[in-house]
């Protein structure tokens, strides 16, 4: 790549070339990116900034919040509420939606986020990230926004992405025209385009799943992994490698970079919960990115992006990544 293309220029060109994104959406994405830059600074300081450890509080899902979960949530809210592009926000770390206060202009968009994904990795200096999804406020909503306005399927997203805080800070984005990656240039203080037209190979020899849960899995997942583990001598006729970072952002980033399949399936420990991961903050944005890069994403039976959410913090089983592998796992569930 010759001339450096900043996130701003990329978005302006998306807006200009075919009117893919309105200026309000462009500005909203820039504000999210700015918030991610601020979160990246806090993450980087770690113990020096006094930001590690737990906050002695639980979120709506009964998980102990880390200090950085709360900091990241506040940074995203403060950065986004005054810009005039949003009507409301929803976060994995908040019980209910956050309305844009009356003192600020109201915009047309709804922003959803997992402020810091991979919480168990915060204190051990392993990659974590922010995941976000943007929806349009339904036309019928006159003035007040309610939780019901957020309950739209993933195929209604108008922008989605994540920012991974790892050896590099990288923002990965789709506005429905493929997937682009922007690396934070700390000297310039801006995100620079470093990868465009990201493509996930249809086939892979690498899977990501928390193997310690194997005894709780359903038969189709067990069958798929057993076949991978059987290697060259088994029905797949090839050896598989395994990776599990336990930060979805990092596992999905690897899959967008070199292929693979990621699974967090339903399991017997909590039969009434469809899975661990959250549909609206994690599965939907990641599924859209993966599909935009030529991969596939299902809950084992149906396309994740077609699921109609019934509640904000809804959970879902996730199978995503290289197309042929995802189709195989889905086929095992449906047969």
List interacting residues with ligand AHM (CB under 6 A). 63, 92, 114, 117-120, 210, 246-248, 264
Interaction between residue 251 and Mg ion (CB under 5 A): no
Tokens read off for 199? 């493509």
Q: Residue 159 in 3-state DSSP?
A: strand
Q: How far is CA 298 from CA 8, 70, 211, 285, in A?
A: 32, 30, 20, 13
93 touches Mg ion (CB under 5 A): no
Q: Which is nearer to ligand AHM, 247 or 330 (CB)?
A: 247
Six token digits for residue 203: 């086939």
Residue 119 marked ligand-binding:
yes
Q: 3 by DSSP, 3-state: which? A: coil
Partner touching 190 among Mg ion, ligand AHM, none, CB below 5 to 8 Å by kind: none
Is the distance from CB of 164 to CB of 117 less than 8 angstroms?
A: no
Piece in contact with Mg ion (CB under 5 A), picked from 64-72, 116-124, 170-178, 190-198: 116-124
* Minimal distance, residue 114 CB to ligand AHM, in Å: 5
Rounded Cα distance, 134 and 129, in Å? 17
Nearer to ligand AHM, 57 or 238 (CB): 57
265 binds, among ligand AHM, Mg ion, none (CB under 5 to 8 A by kind): none
- Least distance to ligand AHM, CB of residue 217, Å: 13
114 annotated as ligand-binding: yes
Between CA 132 and CA 27, with CA 153 as vertex, the angle to 5 degrees is: 35
Near Mg ion by CB under 5 A: residue from 69, 81, 93, 114? 114
Q: What are phi and psi of 141, to 5 degrees?
A: -75, 110
Question: Which residues, 130 to 169, sit near Mg ion by CB under 5 A?
Answer: none
Binding site annotation covers 142? no
In angstroms, what is the minimal distance from the CB of 188 to ligand AHM? 30
Kindly state the DSSP code that residue 256 receives in the 8-state scheme: H
Asked if 258 and 141 count as a contact pair (C-beta separation under 8 A), the reply is no
- Known binding residue 325? Answer is no
Which of positions 181-220 make contact with Mg ion (CB under 5 A)? Answer: none
Report in angstroms how near the CB of residue 309 gets to Mg ion at its nearest: 16
The reply on whether position 117 binds Mg ion by CB under 5 A is: yes
118 is in an annotated binding site: yes
Q: Residues 137-165, buried b or exposed e (16+ Cβ, 10 A)? A: beeeeeeebeeebbbbbbeebbbbbbbbb
* Unique residue bearing structure tokens 């800070």: 169
The token pair at 77 is 């809210």
For strand 277-278 and strand 241-242, is the pairing parallel, antiparallel, or unpaired?
unpaired
Query: In this chain, which residue has its C-beta nearest to ligand AHM?
Result: 248
> Which one, of 190, 243, 149, lies nearest residue 36 by Cα?
190
Cβ neighbours of residue 65 closer than 8 Å, sequence gap 6 or more: 54, 55, 57, 58, 59, 93, 119
Task: Give me the least distance between CB of 117 and ligand AHM, in Å please.
Answer: 5
Closer residue to Mg ion in complex, CB, 90/145: 90
- Find out whether 58 is annotated in a ligand binding site: no
Q: Is 156 annotated as a binding residue?
A: no
Residues in binding contact with Mg ion, number by CB under 5 A: 2
Read off the tokens for 283.
């599965």
Binding site for substrate, by residue number, is 117-120, 210, 276
Binding site residues, Mg ion, CB under 5 A: 114, 117
Please report, in range form, the residues annotated as the binding site for Mg(2+): 92, 114, 116-117, 282
């Amino acid at each position: 790549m010759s001339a450096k293309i900043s996130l701003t220029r990329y978005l302006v060109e998306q807006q200009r070339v075919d009117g893919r994104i309105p200026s309000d959406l462009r500005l909203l994405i820039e504000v999210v990116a700015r918030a991610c830059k601020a979160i990246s600074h806090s993450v980087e300081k770690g113990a020096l900034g006094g930001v590690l450890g737990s906050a002695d509080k639980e979120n709506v899902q009964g998980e102990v919040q880390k200090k950085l979960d709360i900091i990241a949530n506040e940074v995203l809210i403060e950065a986004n509420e005054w810009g005039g592009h949003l009507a409301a926000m929803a976060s994995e770390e908040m019980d209910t939606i956050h309305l844009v206060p009356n003192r600020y202009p109201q915009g047309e968009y709804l922003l959803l986020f997992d402020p810091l994904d991979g919480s168990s990795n915060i204190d051990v200096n392993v990659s974590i990230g922010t995941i976000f999804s943007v929806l349009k406020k339904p036309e019928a909503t006159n003035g007040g926004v309610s939780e019901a306005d957020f309950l739209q399927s993933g195929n209604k997203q108008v922008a989605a992405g994540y920012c991974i805080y790892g050896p590099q800070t990288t923002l990965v984005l789709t506005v429905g025209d493929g997937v682009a990656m922007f690396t934070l240039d700390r000297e310039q203080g801006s995100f620079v385009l470093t990868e465009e037209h990201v493509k996930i190979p249809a086939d892979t020899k690498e899977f990501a799943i928390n193997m310690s849960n194997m005894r709780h899995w359903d038969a189709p997942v067990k069958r798929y992994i057993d076949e991978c583990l059987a290697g060259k001598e088994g029905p797949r006729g090839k050896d598989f490698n395994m990776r599990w970072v336990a930060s979805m952002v990092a596992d999905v980033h690897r899959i967008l970079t070199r292929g693979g399949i990621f699974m967090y399936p339903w399991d017997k420990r909590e039969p009434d919960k469809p899975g661990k991961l959250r549909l609206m903050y994690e599965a939907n944005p990641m599924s859209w990115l993966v599909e935009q890069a030529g991969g596939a994403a299902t809950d084992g039976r149906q396309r994740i992006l077609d699921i109609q959410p019934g509640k904000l913090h809804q959970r879902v089983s996730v199978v995503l990544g290289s197309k042929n592998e995802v189709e195989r796992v889905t086929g095992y569930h449906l047969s």
